[in-house]
Amino acid sequence: MSDVKEVLGSYSTDITKTIEEELAIITPDNLSEASVYLTRAGGKMLRPALTLIVSEAVGGNKESAVKTAAAIELIHTFSLIHDDIMDDDDMRRGMPSVHKVWGDDVAILAGDTLFSKAFEMIIKSNDTTPDQNNKALATVADACIKICEGQALDMGFEERFDVSEEEYMEMIFKKTGALIAGATKAGAIMGGASDEVIDAMYEYGRLIGLAFQIQDDYLDLASDEETLGKPIGSDIAKGKMTIIAIKGLAGDESGRLLEILKAEENSQDEIDEAIEILTNCGAIEYARNLAQESVEQAKEVLEILDGSSFKQALIDIADFVLERHS
């Protein structure tokens, strides 16, 4: 797992340099600072690294994909900034969120600026053909529309306790999976892959994106507070619909579980009781299996690629999604 972090880290210099260069020319200063702030906060850079690794795994080079990779990180950052306003989240990556530092208005604008910059960067990729740039941009634009739809779906789930598994899977695909799938697909496009390989890389990204989100739901109940950096069972306390809660609400003790999920406040005993219900009815195991199956499928999809250290990195990243504890 530490290997995967090293691999991701080895790409971050190129990505960060490209981002810094592109954002330095924005004026006025407060907009420039608010735009670049979160990109300096030490994110994992998973999405842009995937773009670069895929471009190399399909036989391309990372130079031709680096602007697109950086653009994808900007899109991710834009969505975090706007989501934090909507969800009124005060902290992000261990720092006050953009709207807490500069206010909602500048935060809205900073997000919009990153969004615009991202598209400009993809289209100005100059080691690739206009057709490749077009396809990469269409891929990212499609992901952006899905991110908005996914966030709207997620907001619509609040105060709802009858969300179906299908609705939930659509939501997490759009909110989380689509940009990861866009990142891997765009890497394949910029690396000059065939249409078949491009489609396969989208599928790989979609599958690890789903596993990533389901693992988040799982860790909320199965990790420990110190490792996770937040209390265990916080999704239950918030009454949040996760794949585990949805499965539990279809189980034998759904009445008591619903009471706990609906309560304004929960004692630690109630959280523990809910976790026991979810364990006993197999909901936690179900989620874990679902994530594992997605990762296995993702690795099968990779068989289309010739063997290389880059292909191995993609296999390791798929495993990492399940092995991570926070």
Cα 244 to Cα 123, 237, 284: the distances in Å are 41, 14, 6
Which range of residues in 36-44, 49-57, 90-98, 106-114 is near a copy of itself by CB under 8 A? 106-114
Q: In the complex with a copy of itself, which residue's Cβ is closer, 138 or 304?
A: 138
Question: In terms of Cα–Cα distance, which of 228, 217, 321, 227 is closest to 275?
Answer: 217
Looking at 1, 91, 148, 263, which residue binds a copy of itself (CB under 8 A)?
A: 148
Looking at 16, 30, 234, 312, which residue binds a copy of itself (CB under 8 A)?
A: 30
Residue 26, interface with a copy of itself (CB under 8 A)?
A: yes
Residue 124, interface with a copy of itself (CB under 8 A)?
A: yes
Cα 4 to Cα 117, 171, 182: the distances in Å are 29, 27, 20
Looking at 116, 194, 289, 309, which residue binds a copy of itself (CB under 8 A)?
A: 116
Residue 112, interface with a copy of itself (CB under 8 A)?
A: yes
**122 within 8 A of 136, measured Cβ to Cβ:** yes
Q: Which residue is listed with tokens 């092995």?
A: 323
Residue 164, interface with a copy of itself (CB under 8 A)?
A: no
Residue 123, interface with a copy of itself (CB under 8 A)?
A: yes
Residue 115, interface with a copy of itself (CB under 8 A)?
A: yes
Residue 161, interface with a copy of itself (CB under 8 A)?
A: no
Site string for a copy of itself, 250-279 (x = CB under 8 A): ------------------------------
First-residue to last-residue Cα distance in the chain: 12
Looking at 2, 24, 130, 159, which residue binds a copy of itself (CB under 8 A)?
A: 130
Q: In the complex with a copy of itself, which residue's Cβ is closer, 157 or 161?
A: 157
Q: Encode 53-101 in three state secondary structure.
A: HHHHHCCCCHHHHHHHHHHHHHHHHHHHHHHHHHHCCCEECCEECHHHH
E runs forming strands in the chain: 91-92, 95-96
260-298 exposure pattern, b = at least 16 Cβ within 10 A, e = fewer: bbeeeebeeebbebbbebbeebebbebbbebbeebbebb
Question: In terms of Cα–Cα distance, which of 318, 317, 325 is closest to 297?
Answer: 318
Residue 133, interface with a copy of itself (CB under 8 A)?
A: yes
Residues that bind a copy of itself (CB under 8 A): 26-28, 30-31, 82, 85-86, 104-106, 108-109, 111-113, 115-117, 119-120, 123-124, 129-131, 133-134, 137-138, 141-142, 144-145, 147-149, 151-153, 155-156
